[in-house]
A and B are shown apart, each in its own frame.
Chain A
Amino acid sequence: MTNRIVVLGGGTGGTLAANRLRRDLGDEVVITVVDQDDDHLYQPGLLFVPFGLSRPQDLVRSRPAQLHDGITYRTADIERVDLGAEQVLLSDGVTLAYDVLVVATGARLLPEETEGLTGPGARETVHTFYDLDGATALEGALSRFTGGRLVVNVVDMPIKCPVAPLEFCFLADWYFTERGIREQVELIYVTPLDAAFTKPVAARTLSGLLAEKHVELVTEFNTGEVDGTGGRLVGYDGREVPFDLAVVVPLHGGAAYVDRSPGLGDEFGFVPTDKHTLQSTAAPNVFVIGDAAAIPTSKAGSVTHFEGETIARNVVRFLAGEALDASFDGHTNCFIESGFGKAMLIDFNYDTEPLPGHYPSGVGLPLLSPSRLNHLGKLMFAWFYWHSLLPGRDVPGLTAAMPTAGKHMPVPTRS
């Protein structure tokens, strides 16, 4: 009998998982990908839109056009997953039965969960760049901004691409310098974390960079309210941060159908998943890739890319009744735009924090240090995304397992 694989989500994870499975299994399986629209957004490009460095229309392509021949694509909202009956109910009344389900529906922005964030001042004094409409509106707001306090705020973790708000600060420093009004602009980065970033070595470098670029850092701030008309962030602890323009990264949760599917998700709608095999803990025939998974990695495209190899191998093994491969190591790789045509690169996994050195080996790109080469790498990555990563090919130099060759690894301490 032909096995049926249903892939929920036609973004980065769903597309590359479906393409890898089609390549590996051919006509042995019927693969159906479901998403609610036909807009595949190149999310790393959102950061550049507010600064006029990317055009919104260049970031969106057709979802099914990224899928290999032989894969079925359906446009529909997902109502819920019935784990017991092994089927997905779509809002148009159609039911899809599956032998294996791949959850790849990513993260959803939840601005309505923060008091005031969708209220008066939204799209006037309060903006975001985490969706295409928001990033486009912010381009106008930035171009009209002539001076004052620009506050960049992360409401709470987890968020997609945790370095993006820092990159926004670095690019804003460059942008206002180019416009000749940097002296009139105060830049403030407000984070719920106790440092600029979660990982100590990278946090030290990044807070050094913030200081160098005269970006004020406010830590351990849990935003309780965004007051757009009064121009202030109000923390749950009573602290206030005044702003003339706020760029807020809203709370994230999983896709809405996860909440409607008994037993599938956690309290935020992310799906509890084994961090090495990518098999969900909800049911053995449910696998999870990308931002939808509740695993201790960054929610980032690079993670999703590196997960592709493991999830495809494990779906194949599951269908063959073989033991799963616990090989995903949490590998994450991020270019961090630092402004003025330079970028930094960080590379880490579950066990190794971002370290200085070179990637992927001693003669590669510099790690944890701003360089023009990394900026070019980031720009070139868009091409690899559409032509190599989504089709499920391996990208040169980007191996699933984290390389250690060029890193300054710490000398083991004696205990």
Chain B
Amino acid sequence: MPTAVYAGTPVTVTEEGFYLDPDQWREDMAPEIARDAGIDVLTDRHWQVIMHMRKEFAGKGTGPTVRALGRTSGVSIKELYLLFPKGPAKLAARIAGIPKPRGCI
């Protein structure tokens, strides 16, 4: 598995850049991951989603889907796409340092 360096610390990530171990993540890494993904500044709204992703992962063992985020994060799906363009669930999971959401079957 590849290693990436964020905030001066090496972390293990997948080919797509998802953390394998959420415990390796620290808040000061998030802005660097975001810049890699093309998001220059993390606003309070971004952080609301990021912390929600981590809470959901801790409770359920997988990150939420976009639809679940729209219901539970306090941020509408439309705004989620503005904050995390293209794929909010995947992008927010990457920045929040949790594995790729499994989605549904």
Contact = CB atoms under 8 A, between A and B. Distances in A.
Nearest to B66: A222
Given A237-B85, A237-B86, A268-B71, A158 B78 contact: no
A319 interface: no
Contacts of A296: 102, 104-105
A368 B102 CA distance: 23
Contacts of B72: 267
Given A156-B67, A157-B65, A251-B67, A198 B105 contact: yes
Contacts of A158: 104-105
Contacts of B80: 236
Nearest to A238: B81
A298 B105 contact: yes
Given A220-B87, A236-B78, A198 B71 contact: no
Contacts of B87: 220, 237
29 contacts: A156-B65, A156-B66, A157-B65, A157-B103, A157-B104, A158-B104, A158-B105, A162-B105, A193-B103, A198-B104, A199-B105, A220-B86, A220-B87, A222-B66, A222-B77, A222-B81, A224-B78, A236-B66, A236-B77, A236-B78, A236-B80, A237-B81, A237-B85, A267-B71, A268-B67, A268-B68, A296-B104, A296-B105, A298-B105
Given A198-B104, A268-B71, A296-B104, 14 more contacts: A156-B66, A156-B67, A157-B65, A157-B103, A158-B104, A198-B103, A220-B86, A220-B87, A222-B66, A222-B77, A236-B66, A236-B77, A267-B68, A267-B72
Interface of A: 156-158, 162, 193, 198-199, 220, 222, 224, 236-237, 251, 267-268, 296-298
